[in-house]
Amino acid sequence: MTAPAASAPSTTQIAQVSGRRHRGLVRRVLDRPAGVVSIAYLVLLIVVSLIGPFITPFDPNQNDLRGVLRPPGLDHWLGTDDLGRDVLSRLLVAGRVSLLATAQAVLTGLAFGVLPGVLAGYIGGWFDTIVTRVADVLLSFPSLFLALAIVAILGPGLGNAMLAVGIAYAPRFLRIVRGQILFVRNETFVEAAISTGIPRRRVVWAHMLPNAWPALIIQISFMLGLTLIIESSLSYLGLGVQPPNASWGSMIGGSKAFIEIAPWLVLAPGLVIFFTSLAFNTLGDVLRDEVTGGRER
């Protein structure tokens, strides 16, 4: 397992460059081979996940007890599982579940992190002190551990699990946004915007927040990779998606007993998780290089 959070850039590193122009970021990312490959892979994955349920060769939940644990072959390209279900079909459907869950977690994190982060950075004072203290406490728990605790309270289920992961992430987004807002708060163009007499709300959303976007996008990319792995871990533990539905993680979890006689059951979802997480992290690296001008390498 990679440790994406550790390689995520610090707020200050990005703060130094937030004033820099970041228009054309997408084009510059696409100029890099690593950027093109990871984006192409992710786009393909998203498309396949969207149309997945319509192109499955078999019904993913259809048991076939006469054909269990078949190795990959012409009929079943990726073989069948212990209940005789087509692994490829399940993988396609599970991808949608996994990706949606991942997106849900990150969106939850943004929803709980961005606004308090903006307000903490902008208002400052006691509000900032309280918000950052709470965030620091939450950050001191490992994300997975925190998510487990929240699931224990809310009960198992993918929705609850991802809500939990999102809440666990919120402090990270909060810190990044707060740092960026603090950084641009003293920029002359913000003072200039205030001096024109436009409402404060607009100063914050139109002038300050856009300068936090590059840092936020990088963090989102790393977080997507990390969530995918946490989702897999929770589902593997049986705390995420509930049978008969599948996510990539639960596919591994459900097949662990057969790993010696049917390794493809673990290998197929495992590789997909690995490559997807790698793609998100690579994209994050490329974005960070482009935003910071590659100064950290």
Distance of CA 15 to the CA centre of its chain: 22
Measured distance CA(281)–CA(161) in Å, rounded:
22
From the CB of 131, what's the least distance to another protein, in Å?
17
Is there a contact between 102 and 227 (Cβ–Cβ < 8 Å)? yes
Q: Which residue lies nearer to another protein by CB, 125 or 155?
A: 125
Q: Which residue lies nearer to another protein by CB, 119 or 162?
A: 119
From the CB of 191, what's the least distance to another protein, in Å?
6
Taking alpha carbons only, the member of 43, 44, 71, 91 closest to residue 252 is 91
From the CB of 197, what's the least distance to another protein, in Å?
3
Measured distance CA(148)–CA(102) in Å, rounded:
16
Measured distance CA(83)–CA(138) in Å, rounded:
41
Residue 41: strand, helix, or coil: helix
From the CB of 201, what's the least distance to another protein, in Å?
11
Q: Which residue lies nearer to another protein by CB, 159 or 293?
A: 293
Half-sphere exposure of 70 (CA within 13 A, CB side): 20
Interface ranges with another protein (CB under 8 A): 19-23, 187-189, 191-199, 202, 206-207, 210-211
Q: Which residue lies nearer to another protein by CB, 114 or 151?
A: 114
Q: Which residue lies nearer to another protein by CB, 185 or 207?
A: 207
Measured distance CA(97)–CA(117) in Å, rounded:
30
Q: Which residue lies nearer to another protein by CB, 192 or 271?
A: 192
**Cβ–Cβ contacts within 10 Å for residue 53, how many?**
12
From the CB of 205, what's the least distance to another protein, in Å?
12
Q: Which residue lies nearer to another protein by CB, 58 or 213?
A: 213
Measured distance CA(146)–CA(103) in Å, rounded:
19
Taking alpha carbons only, the member of 3, 46, 9, 2 closest to residue 287 is 9
From the CB of 235, what's the least distance to another protein, in Å?
40
From the CB of 126, what's the least distance to another protein, in Å?
11
Three-class secondary structure assignment of 128-152? HHHHHHHHHHHHCCCHHHHHHHHHH
